[in-house]
Amino acid sequence: MKIIIPGGSGQVGTLLSKAFIKDGHDVTVLSRNP
């Protein structure tokens, strides 16, 4: 599944993105500060 996480560089976004990637999902992170 393709997933977009806004605010992915924050604490919750980081945890979510790692969990989704571990489960095999295609993750895109949106952030103001790359």
Whether pTM exceeds 0.75: yes
Q: What's the count of helices (H) and strands (E) in the chain, helices before strands? A: 1, 2
Q: Supply the pLDDT for residue 9.
A: 84
pLDDT at 8: 84
pLDDT value at residue 3: 96
pLDDT of amino acid 33 = 74
Closest CA to 5 of 27, 33, 32, 34: 27
**CB neighbours of residue 15 within 10 Å:** 11
Domain ranges of the chain: 1-34
**Token pair of 34, please?**
């790359």
Res 34: pLDDT: 64
Q: Report which of 24, 11, 12 is spatially closest to residue 3, judged by C-alpha positions.
A: 24
Encode pLDDT of 1-34 as tens digits.
Answer: 999 999 888 899 999 999 999 999 999 999 887 6
